[in-house]
Chain A
Amino acid sequence: MSRAIFTLLLVAMLGGCAASLPEAALRLPESTLEVRSIQTRTLATPSEIDILTATIAVLQDMEFNIERIEKPLGVITASKVTDADSRSEKTGLMFLDVLCALGGGGGCDAMSMAQDDQHITLTMVVLPSLARSGEYTARITIQRVIYDKMDRIKVLERIDDAHTYQQIFDNLQKSLFLQVGAK
């Protein structure tokens, strides 16, 4: 009996204190080139100011707040907090709570695990193209944190799907057209 308790406590102690760092945390994944091409576009524009202004405008269109701009490096960082409620998820969790209550269990609170809001951070780097003069490359990286109803982190992820990036670049093209056309 005492040996069992000792083992249990030892495991608890190790679990509580040990911090394991992920291996290969800074190793380039094999998908690097594919992701890079999804996140990058080259755009022809008369001036650096035009493309930076159009980029800021498109971020505002998408309801982002601009956090920081470092013009010499072409870095624009923006963020926004949006609703992450999912009706299907809430229905599922409510069903779990009902099942739990019917089973006579106490503390049925699966709903508190439902997604509440998401914090999205976006970096856009706009620089003169190295390959073609008069053109600019724009590269975007996006990540988000989703919190549940109890403000616990539920999801930490970077956004990799091509459709999202394509949508932003389509908006940027339109914004650039309006920016240059308005002169």
Chain B
Amino acid sequence: MSDSLQLLPLLGLLLLAGCATTPANVAGAGTQLETRQIQTREYDTLDKAMTMRSVIATLQDLGFTIDQADAELGTITATRLHEHTMRMTVTVVQKDGLRIAVRANARIGENSVTDAATYQDFFVALDKAMFLTLHKVD
């Protein structure tokens, strides 16, 4: 048997070991606190309803359609079909006083988005929409 043929089963096993395992991955990766920090910003300029209006405008600016929105629970889920399928859930929660916490989490296809820069881009876009809402620009 030639060298190359002897190598084949070994490499085949390596291939299977690399790809074949499918853990349930229900809890997700990354630490809970770190994930929350990356995905959350707090605002004290607009009320909950106007913040939700700004979030919806931001999602539309980014090319999403809204799958579901609940004003009472402050939750919006949206999908974007462009090259990849991207889904986002954004929650708007009234904290003490005027403070509003906005948390966004995103998935692209089968992968969750974990990099801070992508969330930073989302919040930059949201800042602009909040500014327009605050200054009563449609």
Interface, chain A (partner B; CB < 8 A): 1-2, 5-6, 9, 12-13, 16-17, 19, 21-22, 24-28, 32, 35-36, 39-40, 42, 67-68, 70, 72-73, 75, 77, 121-123, 125, 127, 129-131, 137, 139, 141-145, 156-158
Contacts and interface: CB of A to CB of B under 8 A. Distances in A.
A39 B122 CA distance: 20
A70 to B, nearest CB: 4
A130 B133 contact: yes
A143 B121 contact: no
A77 B65 contact: yes
A70 B53 contact: no
Interface residue tally on B, bucketed by range: 35 or more
10 contacts: A9-B12, A24-B118, A26-B119, A26-B125, A72-B72, A130-B133, A141-B60, A141-B65, A156-B81, A157-B81
A68 B68 contact: yes
The interface residues of chain B, by DSSP majority, are classed as: mixed
Contacts of B63: 141, 143, 158
B85 A40 contact: no
Contacts of B66: 75, 77, 123, 125
Nearest to A40: B138
B136 A131 contact: yes
A158 B70 contact: no
